[in-house]
Structure formats: structure tokens, C-alpha cells
Amino acid sequence: MSITGLMHRALTGAWLRHEVLANNIANSDTPGYKAARVNFEDYLYDALRPRLRLTVTSPLHMREKYRDTIAVSLDTTSVTPDGNSVDIDREMAEVSANAYYYTAVSRQLTAEFSLLRRAITEGRR
């Protein structure tokens, strides 16, 4: 997978994580609401693993499965007596960390495109 493809996956995962965190914060007062968590690190890891394409000649052959989707899970622990599992302090800290992560990856992607542009134009403007 190319570096730009990998960064695209990282940005997609960070965007989804932000949407899930925003939804958790919006439902922080909803009784019985279970906070969702996004784990896209496994998704990125699968993108980095070298894939060996094997020829399958029989339906009985085993096939390796790769993650093509990002896992979203529910936090089943309760923080409040009404069954809500949203810890607003944790959610806000994760929003902040995710924003820094997204900014860092997007800056790196911008730098990669800048290098490609320079290579294409051979340094001329």
C-alpha cells in the first residue's frame, strides 16, 4: 500500500473516531446510553502487513481475511447510576488527542503531496 493510501486510511479512521466521540458527548445525559469506541489501529495494521496472494484452487482451501472496515465497539461499563457509560472527561480528552492526530496526519499528507509536486515539476515553478 502506498504512503498516501495509508494516510487516507488513517484520516478516515480519525474522522470516524471524531464522529463517534461527538455522538458520545451528545448522549452523555441519555439514560442507558453506552459509549461507542473506534479501533482503527488494527485496520491500519492490516494495511501495512504485506499480503501474499495465494492461488485458491479448491473451495476447501483456507483464505486469510483482512479488515476492510473499522471496528466500532460499545463500552458496557456504567459510569452513572442510570446506566450511561459516557465519561465526559475521557471523551473530551480523546477528542483533543484525536484532533492532534488528525492534524499531524493531514500535515504529513500535505508534505507528501508537496514532494510529489516538486518531483513532477523537477523543482521548477
Give 10-residue mean pLDDT values along the chain (125 residues): 82 91 93 88 70 65 57 76 89 95 95 90 74
Give the pLDDT score at 47: 65
Instruction: Indicate yes or no: pTM above 0.85.
Output: no
Please state the φ and ψ torsions of residue 117, each to the nearest 5 degrees.
-60, -40
Phi, psi for residue 3 in degrees, rounded to 5: -65, -35
55 and 43 Cβ atoms separated by less than 8 Å:
no
Q: Give the model's pLDDT for residue 100.
A: 97
Q: From residue 118, how far is each of 6, 106, 111 by CA, in Å?
A: 21, 18, 10
What are the distances in angstroms from CA 46 to CA 41, 51, 80, 87, 110? 9, 9, 36, 30, 24
